[in-house]
Structure 1
Amino acid sequence: MIGILRKILGFIVYYTKGIYRKVNEENIFFLSAGIAFNGILCLLPVLLLFTSVIGMFLHSSSISLQKIDQILDTAFPPQPYAQQIQQSLKGIVRDIIHYRSTFGLYGIGILLYASASMFSSIRHVLNTVYRLKSSKLVIITILENILLVIVLGALFVVANIFSWVLLPVTSLLKEIPNLGIIDIGSLMKSLSFAASYIPAFIMFYVINRFIPERGITNKVALVSSITTTSLWWIAGKEFSWYLAAFHSYSKLYGTYAFILVFLLWVYYSSVVFVVGIMVGQLYRERRSGI
């Protein structure tokens, strides 16, 4: 029993001291800021793609466009200044419909470029923390980045959707009287955990295992991925809780509070990602004596 306690204490002391040392050596906040900045840049082409989707929807449905015109006619009074604003908004809607394909093409192109830049910064962080040197050709790196954008982007979307959306869905299901015999809370918690944790774990495992140049074993990638996913999952739960309670804060701070919390979540995600890599490197050093 005493031997087990000593091992646990030694484990805690080793990783606590190691993380503290590496935070000072590697400048974790600078590395995290680079990833967060590139991640936020990826939102700009996503907005273009979203605009393109809206344009396609409005173009395919004349009823939706008529409803928008009716809403604008109802919302604005007949004064001249209000009519000018109304006509400007109608012009914006028609431009979105007319240039929907252009928005989509530009969005895809910029998203590929911005995402490749983000994965380049991730690759730099991985090589820095794992103390590896880049040896791949530039063209191979670019092709890998594009492939990672597609695969990891899909996993990222799935992980975030389940992490943020299932909490309000749980509240809605609890209000249905016929489902009282089923423990909706426990069922949705288990489903939420599995559906958000597993895609995120796979995403971080692929990043830790295949993006670094060489020398990263499955065990090291697993340790890094479990650490990052656990901390990131906690952040997702906190963010989903905020979304559920957003109506209370929006009365005081409006959209600015949501934007601030979202930016903090992006930066926190970058920090825990780097911390996970550091934990993996500490495990690697302890096992191989690097």
Structure 2
Amino acid sequence: MKSLRAALLRSPHIAWRTVIKFFADNGQFLASGIAFDLLLYCIPFSLLFISALGYALGGDPTQALSVVQDVFRQFLPATHKAFTQNLSTVLDNRGLLGFLGFALLFLMSSITFGSIRISLNTVFQVRNPPGFVLGKAKDVLVMLVVTALLVLMIGLISLLALAKSFGSRFAILETLLLPGAALASTLLGFVFTFSIFYLLYRFSPRETLVRPALLVASLTGAGLFEISKAAFIWYVKLLQSNSELYGSFAGLAFFLLWIYYACVVLIVGAEVGWILQQEMRSSEAKTQN
């Protein structure tokens, strides 16, 4: 704890070293690779989730659309409209699309989590990465855990969306439930985002960080992710006056930028954790001497 406290007192120095190491590791290109693969992963995952939701809600398209829109708002601030406008078509064809989503999910997940593993190995300076078979097996295991966590989070957000939908029918319940539901949704989003960052930093790379650095890295990633959501909302509103230049591609362009921002945050959080670990080891060495 003393080494952690001493390292945290050097936060400005850690921040500066993080910036230097981010560019030394070509973090912007690592984030680009993850963003591209993550985009491929999101397509079958979204199709599978929407199809399963349509069946879970008894085929009621109104409830399904409401729940899906709330989930998209949690992850895609100010850009969800580009993807929720045509969801009714997806729900109408959920049988075929669900089958395709299930088939493609495992293929795309192996590619996506493989990119995350390789990128984190680069950031953590892993000298002996695992072999191909062991690496892919680890990718599938991490994918299953992260997907289960996402499904759990989406389920809880869906319950909150249903509670808000029910409460909006009654004036008294709407006054009582809506503020609490909004706060609960924000807290759940942060907790699950922290959990996803922790799982990725802990299990994806061959060598992980010590626990204090791992917790700080996960908190940094989750905090930057929430801050970037607010910043991205402001950024999109700033560019809305120029949206005519993009036409129907504006929503897609904003979505791609958001995916890239999220992947940059993933790399930055890992860099912070690694730099903090080095500072802790340096403090321990000075104490022993």
- TM-score normalised by the chain length of structure 1: 0.67
How far does residue 148 in structure 1 lie from its aligned partner after superposition?
1.6
Alignment partner for residue 124 of structure 1, among 114, 118, 127?
Answer: 118
CA distance in 1, matches of 2:32, 2:278: 26
Larger radius of gyration: 1
Q: What's the CA shift string for 1:172-195, capped at 9, x where partnerless?
A: 96895314764843x234312321
Amino acid of the residue matched to residue 18 of structure 2?
A: I
CA distance in 2, matches of 1:56, 1:184: 27
CA distance in 1, matches of 2:227, 2:166: 22
How far does residue 265 in structure 1 lie from its aligned partner after superposition?
1.1
| Structure 2 match to 1:71 | none
Alignment partner for residue 263 of structure 2, among 261, 266, 270?
Answer: 270
The 8 Å contact of residues 205 and 221 in structure 1, kept in 2 or not, is answered as yes
CA distance in 2, matches of 1:163, 1:277: 27
CA distance in 1, matches of 2:45, 2:108: 10
CA distance in 1, matches of 2:47, 2:168: 37
1:226 pairs with 2:225 = no
CA distance in 2, matches of 1:257, 1:125: 29
Amino acid of the residue matched to residue 21 of structure 2?
A: K
| Structure 2 match to 1:133 | 127
Greater relative contact order structure (CA < 8 Å, 6+ sep): 2
Unaligned runs of 5+ in 2: 1-5, 62-88
SS in 2 for 1:216: coil
Cα distance, 1:29–1:157 mapped onto 2, change above 3 Å:
farther
The 8 Å contact of residues 164 and 237 in structure 1, kept in 2 or not, is answered as no
1:154 pairs with 2:148 = yes
CA distance in 2, matches of 1:33, 1:161: 30
Amino acid of the residue matched to residue 12 of structure 1?
A: S
How far does residue 222 in structure 1 lie from its aligned partner after superposition?
0.6
| Structure 1 match to 2:277 | 284
The 8 Å contact of residues 28 and 264 in structure 2, kept in 1 or not, is answered as yes
How far does residue 143 in structure 1 lie from its aligned partner after superposition?
2.0
Cα distance, 1:45–1:25 mapped onto 2, change above 3 Å:
same
The 8 Å contact of residues 19 and 275 in structure 1, kept in 2 or not, is answered as yes
CA distance in 2, matches of 1:174, 1:238: 29
The 8 Å contact of residues 159 and 200 in structure 1, kept in 2 or not, is answered as no
| Structure 1 match to 2:14 | 15
Unaligned runs of 5+ in 1: 1-6, 65-91
How far does residue 134 in structure 1 lie from its aligned partner after superposition?
3.7
Amino acid of the residue matched to residue 121 of structure 1?
A: S
| Structure 1 match to 2:84 | none
| Structure 1 match to 2:203 | 210
CA distance in 2, matches of 1:38, 1:52: 22
| Structure 1 match to 2:249 | 256
- TM-score normalised by the chain length of structure 2: 0.67
How far does residue 224 in structure 1 lie from its aligned partner after superposition?
0.9
CA distance in 1, matches of 2:45, 2:101: 6
SS in 2 for 1:150: helix
CA distance in 2, matches of 1:129, 1:107: 32
The 8 Å contact of residues 165 and 240 in structure 1, kept in 2 or not, is answered as no
